Amino acid sequence: MTQRITYLFLLGSGLLMAQEKETDNFPPPEIPVTITAYKARGIITVDGRLDESDWSVAEPVTDFFRVEPVQGGTIKNPTEVRILFDDKNLYFGVFARDSLGKKGIRMQDLSRDFNGLENDVFGIQIDAQNTKQYAVSFQTTPYGNQQDVQNFNDNNRDEDWNALWRVRTQRTDKGYYAEFAIPFKSIRYDSPVEGAPVEWGITFFRLARKDYEKTVFPAIPQSFSENRMTYAAKLMGLEVPPPSANIRIEPYALYQYDENKEGSFLVDKLNNPKIGGDVKWAISPNAVLDLTINTDFAQADVDQAVNNLERFNIFFPERRQFFLENSGIWAGGGNFQVRPFFSRTIGLSNTFNAAPAPLDAGARYTDRNENRTIAALAVRQRETDDSPGSTFGVARFIQNYGKENNIGAMVTYRRDDALSGLDLSSQNNTTISIDGLIRPKSEITFSYLLSTSIDSATDDNGYAGRIFAGTRTNDYYIGYVNAFVSESYNPDMGFVVQRDFMYHSPGGYPILRPKGLPFIRRWDPGAFLNYYHDFEDFGNFQQANLYIFPIYTWFKDNSFLEASFTPTWQNINFNFAPLGLEIEEGRYSYTRYTLRYNSDRSKKFSGSIRYDFGNFYNGVRNSVIAGLRYAPVPHVAMNVDYENNNINGVGILSEDLNTDLYTASVRLALNPRVQLSTFYQYNSFDEQGRWNVRFSWEYMPLSFIYLVFNDTQTDVFDPVQRSTQFISKITFLKQF
C-alpha cells in the first residue's frame, strides 16, 4: 500500500512540468486602479431590479480577473458592477451573467452566513480607512442570503460580525441581479477633510459555482484571497456624510423553562423571565463602544459531541455573538495551540462540567485607524452556588508599519472573588503577550506570539509562544510552525492544547494544475512533520508523526480525494486513557492510513466518506466517518452523518471498544429571514442523545424572534438523567 501511494506521489511530481502554464504571482500595483461612485438623483428602491434611471448613468465595472479554475484567460460568466450613493447609503448594483441562466445557479440553503464554497456568491470588500490590513465584506447569493465578514491581514476571518445592511436579488434567464444598500453608518471611515477627495480601498469577487469559476476585481494573484487589500482598487467620487450620532440599541426579552429529571423523579425546574440588551455606540468614525447588560446567549448554536482519542485538549469554538464580533483582533486569534485570550472561559463556572454562569454586564471598546488599533474588553460574571463572582479584562494595542506589517501587545486580567461557602480565597491571573506580523513580500509571511502568565494561586510565571514562517505562491507552499508552552503557563482566560511541550512542524507541497489531466483542477501532494518534545527537558521526546499525502486533489467540480499515510511515534510517560482505554507507559510506533472523498457539495445530493485504518498503540483502530446531504431546493436541506470507531486489542488489558456517533439535521427556510432547524445526535459511548430545535424569524433587519427547544437524555446512568429546556426570545434592533 505504501509503495503504491509513494509511486502516485512521484507520478504527481513528474506532472509538475506538464501543468498548464499560469501567470506568476505579481506584486501589488504602484498606482491602484480607480473606479467611481455616482451620486443618485432619485430614490433607489432596493428590490434587485436595477430599473431606476440612475443605474444606467453609473459606469459599470467589468474588468474582472479570473483566478479559478486557472489564473487568467477568458471569463465564462462575466460580471458587471455599478456604484451609487446618496446622503445615507452606498449602493451596489450587480449583474452576474450565467452561461446557463437560472439553470446554472447552485444554492444549498438560505441560511445567513452561508458556506461560500458551496453556493453562487458575489462579495464586496471595503477598506474605508485604507489600512491595507483590514476589510469588511458584504456577500450575497442569487437568493439574497446575507453574509458579513471581518478579515484581518488576509489570514484571520470573523464570520460572526453582523452589520446593518440590505440586499435583494432577482434571478433571470441570463443570470441574476443583486442590489445592495449599505448605510454609511455601518462602515467605519475617517472624517472627510475639506478639499481632499474621499478614497476607499475596495475589491469584488464572484464565484460561479457550477464551473467553479472565481473572478475578482481588481486583479489579485491566485494564491491570495479577495481580502488582500494591498491589491485593492480605489473607490473615488464619494461624498460621505460627516460624523454624527450613531447609536445602535438591541434590547431583548426572554422566557426560559428548564427541567431536570432522574428517571421519573423531577429533580428541579426553573421558570426564568429575563430582559437585557446590547448597545453599540460609534463614538467617532474610528471608535466604537459596545455595552451589554444581563447578557444572554440562548440562541447560540450548541456544541456537537466529540469522541477524543488523542492526547490533546479539544478546542470548541466560540459561538456567542457578543464575543465573536471583532474576535480576530485579539493576539493568538488565528491558531488553536496557544491563545492567551479565549472568550469561552468567560461565562463558565469553575466546576468539572463547566456549567454556564450568568454575566451581569460587559463592555468592549475598539478604536482603529490606518496606523494603529486600540481595543479593550471588560466583563463581570455573577456569583453562583458553585463558583465565585469574577471580573475579566483584556487590553490590546496594534501598531501598523510598512505596507502589511504590524506589532502588538495584549494584557489579560482575571480576578475571582472570595467565596466563603466553598472556602475559596480571592485570586487573580494575568497574561502579557507580544505579537506581530511581517510581510517583506506579498507571498512571504512571518508571524510571532510570545506570552507570559502570572498566577497568584501558584505564584509562578509561565511562558508560551508560537512562530510561523511561510511562503505561498501560485505554484507551491512551504512553511514552518513552532509552538511552545511551559508547565507553569496558566492563562485562566486562554486556551492551550497542552502544557510542557515544544512543537515543530516544517512542511509543504507543490500546487499542480496538470494540463495532461483535464479533470483535475488542483493537486497538492506534500508532507508535514509534526514533532513534540518537552519544553522543560528538550531531550524528552513526546510524539511525532509524518503526514504524507501523495493524493490531495480537487476535481473540476470541486469534489475532493485524499489518500495519505502517517507514520507515528509515541512516548507515553503519563496516565493516558483515551475513552477509558488505559495505555501502558512506553514507546510505540505504528502507521495510520486515510482515504477520504467528498463529492460536489453544490449539487442537490452530495456525500462524503473518510476511512482511517491501521495500528493504534499496541492494537488496531479502524474509523469511518460518512455523511449524506439532500437539498432538493434551497429552502430544504437534510443531513445525515455517522462516525464509527472500531478499536481492538488496545491498552494494558488489550481491550476492544466500538463507538457510534449518529447525527441528523434538517433545515427548512421560507426565505433567508424565516428558518427552522432541527438537530439530533446520539453517542453510544456515553449513551447520550441530544435534540436541538430552533426557529428564527428576522422580522426586521437584525431583529429576531427565536423559539428554541433543547433535550438531553443520558442512558448510561441509573436512573436515566434527562434535561429539557424551552426558550422564547425576541430582540429588537434600532439604529439612530
Sheet of 175-183: strands edge to edge? 38-39, 79-85, 89-97, 175-183, 166-172
Mean residue pLDDT of the chain comes to 89
Cell numbers of 73, please?
484567460
Confidence band, pLDDT 50/70/90 cuts, at residue 220: very high
Angstrom CA distances, 653 to 285, 572, 581, 584, 619, stand at 65, 16, 8, 9, 11
Cell numbers of 369, please?
485607524
For 236-343, where are the alpha helices, taking DSSP H only?
321-324
**More confidently predicted of 204 and 107:** 204
Stretch 650-679: mean pLDDT, rounded? 94
Cell numbers of 434, please?
507580544
Q: Report how far residue 417's alpha carbon sits from residue 90's, in angstroms, rounded to the nearest whole number.
A: 49
Tens digits of per-residue pLDDT, 103-152? 899 988 888 778 878 899 999 999 998 888 889 999 999 999 999 988 88
**More confidently predicted of 698 and 306:** 698
Q: What is the pLDDT of residue 14?
A: 45
Q: What is the pLDDT of residue 6?
A: 44
* Paired strand residues for 590: 568
* Paired strand residues for 595: 563, 611
Q: Report how far residue 479's alpha carbon sits from residue 445's, in angstroms, rounded to the nearest whole number.
A: 9
Q: Report how far residue 722's alpha carbon sits from residue 728's, in angstroms, rounded to the nearest whole number.
A: 21
What is the helix, strand, coil percentage profile of the chain, to 5?
5, 55, 40
Tens digits of per-residue pLDDT, 414-445? 999 988 878 888 999 999 999 999 999 889 99
φ, ψ of residue 329 in degrees (nearest 5): -80, -20
DSSP state of 524: -
Cell numbers of 126, please?
471595503
| Residues 544/578, Cβ–Cβ less than 8 Å | no
Q: Report how far residue 343's alpha carbon sits from residue 701's, in angstroms, rounded to the nearest whole number.
A: 27
Nearest CA-CA partner of 286 in 141, 440, 175, 128:
128
Q: What is the pLDDT of residue 302?
A: 64
Tens digits of per-residue pLDDT, 486-544? 999 999 999 999 999 999 999 999 999 998 888 999 999 999 999 999 998 888 999 99
For 2, the 3-state DSSP assignment is: helix
**More confidently predicted of 42 and 16:** 42
Stretch 470-483: mean pLDDT, rounded? 95
Q: At a CB cut-off of 8 Å and minimum separation 6, what does 17 contact?
A: none
> Backbone dihedral region of 586: left (phi > 0), alpha (psi from -120 to 50 degrees) or beta?
left
Residue with grid cell 428541579, as numbered in its chain: 268
Q: Report how far residue 466's alpha carbon sits from residue 705's, in angstroms, rounded to the nearest whole number.
A: 42
Residue with grid cell 485524499, as numbered in its chain: 562
Stretch 237-263: mean pLDDT, rounded? 88
Q: What is the pLDDT of residue 300?
A: 59
Confidence band, pLDDT 50/70/90 cuts, at residue 301: low
Determine how β-strand 38-39 pairs with β-strand 79-85. Answer: parallel
φ, ψ of residue 103 in degrees (nearest 5): -65, -20
Whole-prediction pTM: 0.86
For 263-367, where are the alpha helices, taking DSSP H only?
321-324
Q: What is the pLDDT of residue 4?
A: 43
* CB burial string 449-487: b at 16+ within 10 A, e below: bbbbbbbeeeeeebebbbebbbbbbbbbbebbbebbbbe
Residues 517/519/525/530 CA torsion (nearest 10 deg):
180
Residue with grid cell 441509573, as numbered in its chain: 718
Stretch 383-404: mean pLDDT, rounded? 91
Tens digits of per-residue pLDDT, 308-325? 778 777 777 776 777 877
Q: At a CB cut-off of 8 Å and minimum separation 6, what does 303 contact?
A: 316, 319
Q: What is the pLDDT of residue 478?
A: 97
pLDDT for 18 beyond 80: no
